[in-house]
């Protein structure tokens, strides 16, 4: 154990830089998630959007996201994780510019679908890349960089929205302000692209391509020489002993369970209600009496709590464990969703809504926010990881689309109380699934986790469930 701590200490700065560079993919997802919440009110007034079209403007980016994650694994296995991440940054930058220049809602939807392609490519490959580089003892902490940068993008963008909204009159916001909100998206995409110029390719990808010496050099910078040599052997053994890399392997005994766990984590990362608050926060606060841009101030406060809670999660994940945090978080989220629904049912004043949403947000950010992004790439074997993560993340983006599309229709049809009580029930279901089917992967190497799913090899490497 002392040796492992020394290895981490010697390599922590190098691997931290790699993880933060890849994690900046979260800035793209975070920026778009938050910026559209500020723009949608202006767009609704400009184009007279129905609840369905309001949802479609927001959810359209997820259509591109589903396509992006669907092809990310194949492209990542052919061209490498790093090159595809760089391509994703370019795509999102172009989309941001187009979104700011459109003159119809149809053109805006098309630009957002194109931007979703870039975010989808980046979302699955970023966590795959970090997982393949990180040492087991701090893999959870480093893999949470994606979620940390997502939340950083969300919270900072709330303040961008607030600044733009206050930069002119309401009429200016309807005609021009929202264009600046969307156009600023090119800034995080350029930052992401530039940082990727200074990081290496995934060592596991390099070994798959026969570039052993280049991979070994990277592994020795991540670990000490002895650990790197041992990991090199384990990776080569994992790759060479598995000749069947067909996606059909995921539906065979053993990996079939891994696929089920991955799909569960992907779905519940989205359907428990956080994105409903993120996408429609200002509109939700407006509905309980916030006005004169105070709805943007309230949403910005939620963003600050998101950032603080996610930073706390970075330090908790490898200590408390994935399973325990998800169980605690889902139970707290169910509780706060009940209270949020009560605000609407009993017509309670606005400040209580802020308090309850902050409680829900904090619980999400230490549990079902970052942990699915960490565990999904952990649970799949080397030869299938990129494509399996892409497939699983398609479910995540599909659920994301559904939340973006149908939340305004639910709020309009069911009302706030029953909408949020529905999310409370979903969180209870999440708690049950976490306790019954999700394993603990803390402190396990990727090769150890791979052995767990292999039939008839449930030995001392078995994960606790």
Contacts of 279 (CB under 8 A, 6+ apart): 33, 36, 37, 40, 58, 403, 404, 407
Helices (H), 102-211: 105-133, 139-143, 145-165, 170-172, 178-183, 186-196, 203-208
Higher pLDDT, 139 or 258: 258
Tens of pLDDT, residues 285-327: 988 888 888 888 898 899 999 999 999 998 898 888 899 999 9
Higher pLDDT, 379 or 253: 379
Tell me if 72 sits within 8 A of 386, measured CB to CB. yes
Given the structure tokens 């990129």, which residue do they identify? 386
**pLDDT of 3 above 60:** no
Tens of pLDDT, residues 4-17: 434 445 577 788 88
**pLDDT of 277 above 50:** yes
> Which residue, among 121, 21, 128, 104, has the nearest Cα to 61 in the 3D structure?
121
Tell me if 257 sits within 8 A of 389, measured CB to CB. no
Tens of pLDDT, residues 383-400: 788 788 888 989 998 999
Rounded Cα–Cα distance for residues 137 and 299 (Å)? 35
pLDDT of res. 454: 67
**pLDDT of 459 above 80:** no
Dihedral angle over CA of 51, 57, 61, 67, nearest 10 = 70
């Amino acid at each position: 154990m002392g040796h492992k701590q020394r290895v981490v200490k010697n390599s922590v700065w190098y691997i931290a830089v790699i993880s933060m560079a890849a994690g900046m993919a979260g800035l793209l997802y975070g920026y778009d998630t938050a910026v559209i919440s500020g723009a949608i009110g202006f767009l609704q007034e400009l184009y007279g959007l129905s609840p369905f079209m309001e949802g479609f403007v927001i959810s359209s980016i997820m259509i591109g996201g589903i396509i992006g994650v669907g092809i990310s694994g194949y492209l990542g296995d052919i061209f490498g994780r790093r090159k595809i991440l760089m391509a994703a940054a370019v795509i999102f930058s172009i989309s941001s510019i187009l979104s700011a220049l459109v003159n119809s809602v149809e053109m805006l939807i098309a630009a957002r679908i194109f931007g979703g392609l870039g975010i989808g490519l980046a979302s699955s490959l970023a966590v795959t890349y970090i997982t393949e580089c990180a040492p087991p003892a701090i893999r959870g902490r480093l893999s949470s960089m994606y979620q940390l940068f997502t939340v950083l993008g969300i919270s900072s963008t709330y303040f961008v929205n607030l600044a733009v909204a206050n930069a002119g009159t309401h009429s200016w916001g309807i005609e021009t302000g929202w264009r600046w909100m969307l156009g600023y998206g090119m800034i995080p995409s350029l930052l992401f692209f530039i940082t990727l110029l200074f990081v290496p390719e995934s060592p596991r990808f390099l070994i798959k391509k026969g570039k052993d010496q280049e991979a070994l050099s990277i592994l020795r910078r991540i670990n000490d020489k002895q650990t790197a040599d041992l990991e090199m052997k384990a990776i080569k053994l994992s790759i060479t002993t598995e000749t069947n890399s067909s996606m059909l392997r995921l539906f065979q005994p053993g990996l079939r369970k891994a696929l089920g766990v991955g799909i569960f984590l992907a779905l519940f990362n989205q359907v428990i209600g956080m994105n409903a608050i993120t996408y429609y926060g200002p509109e939700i606060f407006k509905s309980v009496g916030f006005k004169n841009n105070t709805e943007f101030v309230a949403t910005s406060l939620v963003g600050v709590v998101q950032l603080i809670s996610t930073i706390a999660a970075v330090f908790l994940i490898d200590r408390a464990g994935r399973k325990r945090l998800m169980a605690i978080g889902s139970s707290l989220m169910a509780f706060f969703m009940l209270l949020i629904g009560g605000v609407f049912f009993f017509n309670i004043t606005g400040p209580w809504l802020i308090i309850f949403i902050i409680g829900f947000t904090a619980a999400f950010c230490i549990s079902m926010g970052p942990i699915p992004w960490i565990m999904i790439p952990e649970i799949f074997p080397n030869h299938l990881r990129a494509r399996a993560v892409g497939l699983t993340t398609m479910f995540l983006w599909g659920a994301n689309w559904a939340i973006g599309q149908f939340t305004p229709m639910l709020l309009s049809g069911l009302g706030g109380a029953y909408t949020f009580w529905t999310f409370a029930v979903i969180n209870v279901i999440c708690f049950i699934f976490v306790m019954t089917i999700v394993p603990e992967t803390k402190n396990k190497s990727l090769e150890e986790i791979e052995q767990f799913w292999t039939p008839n090899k449930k030995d001392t490497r078995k994960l606790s469930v």
